[in-house]
Structure 1
Amino acid sequence: MTTTITVKGQVTVPKHIRDALGLVPGTQVGFALNDEGDVVLRAAQRQRGKPTDRFEAARGKADVKWRTQDLMKLLRAD
């Protein structure tokens, strides 16, 4: 399969390659040359134990023991 480089130096990575590497918009990728001169594309290594997004980082972190009806009483105090 071939592709064309744009004037900005961009190329489209074929879908089956994106799927195989788990590449989604915003994923960082790395390029390398092997001994034969072929370009190798790799998904950048994620740091272990770190969530992939800010919402995942916050999930399960709340330590407030309020129940909804208690909060509503507090907010709607007359």
Structure 2
Amino acid sequence: MTVLTVTAKGQVTLRKEFLRHLNAKPGDKLEVAILPDGKLQISAEKPASGGRIDDFFGSLRNPHGLHFTIDELKDEIDKAWATRRR
């Protein structure tokens, strides 16, 4: 078991080994849950939006080479909604 020291500001520094275990990097956020018996649970926060913008690039690959105009997409959406209303 590791013992950490609380600073005068009420802060605690986590060791690198703990941060590596959480896969936490500078700027990441950690979630802390209060458990019974004076315990805390710390875990890496999962991004709600799926992560950074860098993770989004390439996610909309078009393997079939299909390309549609905005008007064509709107027409298809309108058709889909029309069949749902029935």
Return 5+ residue gaps in structure 2 as ranges.
59-86
Per-residue deviation, 1:50? 3.3
Once the two structures are superposed, residues 28-69 of structure 1 have per-residue CA deviations (whole angstroms, 9 ceiling, x without a partner) of 111112234311111111125332xx6x27857xxxxxxxxx
With the length of structure 1 as denominator, give the TM-score of the two structures.
Answer: 0.57
Q: Provide the alpha-carbon RMSD of the alignment.
A: 2.2
What is residue 10 of structure 1 aligned with on the other side? 11
The structure richer in helix per residue is: 2
Q: How many residues align?
A: 57
Matches within 5 A, 1:1-78: 1-51=2-52, 56=54
Partner Cα separation in structure 1 for residue 42 and residue 7 of structure 2? 18
Per-residue deviation, 1:19? 0.3
Partner Cα separation in structure 2 for residue 37 and residue 58 of structure 1? 40
Partner Cα separation in structure 1 for residue 39 and residue 32 of structure 2? 10
Give the share of equivalent positions with the same residue, in percent. 28
Structure 1 residues 41 and 49, CA gap change in structure 2 (3 angstroms): closer
